[in-house]
Amino acid sequence: MKTYDAIVAGCGPAGITAAMYLARSACSVLMCEQLTHGGQILMTDTLENYPGYPQGIKGYELADLFIAHLDDLSIERATGIVDSITGTAGQFVVQCGDQTYACKTVLVCTGASHRTLGLDRENALLGHGVSYCALCDGNFFRGQMVAVVGGGNSALEGALYLSKIVGQVYLIHRREYFRGTKIFFDRLNESRNVTVLADTVVTKLHGDSNLSGLTLRNVHSGEEQHLPVDGLFIYVGFEPKTDFLPADLALDSQGFILTDTEMRINIPGIFAAGDIRSKFCRQVITAAGDGATAAQAAFLFLEQL
């Protein structure tokens, strides 16, 4: 069996960047992707915050440009779910779909996914009023009415961020008390355009091509009300999937992979980059930056083997 210098698991911004850097350093690289290249960018209608595109760029266009960057590089690709990574530094075995591959180092760039509310048409309205990222999409709702769902710090930070951009924010939480840090909540209470709706859940999304409103239900009284909004920002959790990695993997309290600044994890020879790792800001630019760092660190690791 051929032994690759590196296998990159996941073909989102982090994985594509890592593969590009490694191939340019003359390493033999195999990329394993379960779906299609691009990762979460493909779920993004327009990105307005990726440098170099002052007018914004469609998610699928950026994904195509990213992958086109690999065209002239010698990178092999496999389609399939990476199910397991076993072995030790210099001798890893990666199971991808029904194929088994050998490599000296592995770069885990498999991202994470947002938990949904599970409502009808939530997916259809994604990018048309429904969003999971205030930093990414808040600007589309300047001066408008939006709702934020969730009770943790992400929801509170998202609501605070939006309160500086939009006309009115409704912060909806299914419980009476918020889990997020008090300082965020205090700041929200001081904002003149934030209304907190506690003990409340969203039961229905309205709107044909774009979101136009929500049906809300009070969890105690069962009373329903209609809330007209242009945007709904959902912060009910973000899930990394790491079950295919060795069991002694070090994770943070939320299940994200702990890395050092060189993207090394606690298992020598494996690196993690992008949304899968424990970090502060999950964006395309930071994922690509992580991918570049991980590739450079992996290259040094290969040289030292």
Ligand X SMILES: Cc1cc2nc3c(=O)[nH]c(=O)nc-3n(C[C@H](O)[C@H](O)[C@H](O)COP(=O)(O)OP(=O)(O)OC[C@H]3O[C@@H](n4cnc5c(N)ncnc54)[C@H](O)[C@@H]3O)c2cc1C
User: What residues act catalytically?
Assistant: 133, 136-137
Cβ within 8 Å of residue 288, ≥6 positions away: 13, 14, 16, 17
Task: Supply the minimum distance, in Å, between the C-beta of residue 213 and ligand X.
Answer: 21
Task: Supply the minimum distance, in Å, between the C-beta of residue 226 and ligand X.
Answer: 25
Best CA proximity match to 204, nearest among 130, 139, 279: 130
Please check whether residue 292 is in contact with residue 15, taking contact to mean a CB–CB distance below 8 angstroms. no
14 binds ligand X (CB under 6 A): yes
Task: Supply the minimum distance, in Å, between the C-beta of residue 286 and ligand X.
Answer: 7
Which residue lies nearer to ligand X by CB, 67 or 216? Answer: 67
Which residue lies nearer to ligand X by CB, 114 or 206? Answer: 114
Enumerate residues 20-59 that contact ligand X by CB under 6 A. 32-35, 39-41, 43-44, 47, 49-50
Distance CA 178, CA 186 (A): 11
Please check whether residue 38 is in contact with residue 31, taking contact to mean a CB–CB distance below 8 angstroms. no
Enumerate residues 102-161 that contact ligand X by CB under 6 A. 109-111, 114, 126, 132-133, 136
Which residue lies nearer to ligand X by CB, 8 or 227? Answer: 8
Q: For residue 259, how many other CB atoms are within 10 A of its CB? A: 24
Please check whether residue 283 is in contact with residue 136, taking contact to mean a CB–CB distance below 8 angstroms. yes
Enumerate residues 241-300 that contact ligand X by CB under 6 A. 241, 244, 274-275, 282-285, 287
- Count the residues of the shown chain that bind ligand X, applying the rule CB under 6 A: 38
Instruction: Give the interface segment with ligand X, choosing from 5-13, 226-234, 255-263, 296-304 (CB under 6 A).
Output: 5-13
225 binds ligand X (CB under 6 A): no
> SS3 for 98-138, per residue?
CEEEEEEEEEECCCEEECCCCCCCCCCCECCCEECCHHHHH
Q: Which of 5, 13, 75, 213 touches ligand X (CB under 6 A)?
A: 13
Best CA proximity match to 218, nearest among 194, 196, 199: 199
Task: Supply the minimum distance, in Å, between the C-beta of residue 227 and ligand X.
Answer: 22
Which residue lies nearer to ligand X by CB, 173 or 279? Answer: 279
Which residue lies nearer to ligand X by CB, 41 or 257? Answer: 41
Task: Supply the minimum distance, in Å, between the C-beta of residue 2 and ligand X.
Answer: 19
**Residue 251: phi, psi to the nearest 5?**
-125, 160
Distance CA 278, CA 215 (A): 35
Distance CA 275, CA 239 (A): 10
Work out whether strand 75-79 and strand 29-33 pair parallel, antiparallel, or are unpaired. parallel
Task: Supply the minimum distance, in Å, between the C-beta of residue 304 and ligand X.
Answer: 26
Binding region for ligand X (CB under 6 A)? 9-15, 32-35, 39-41, 43-44, 47, 49-50, 81-82, 109-111, 114, 126, 132-133, 136, 241, 244, 274-275, 282-285, 287
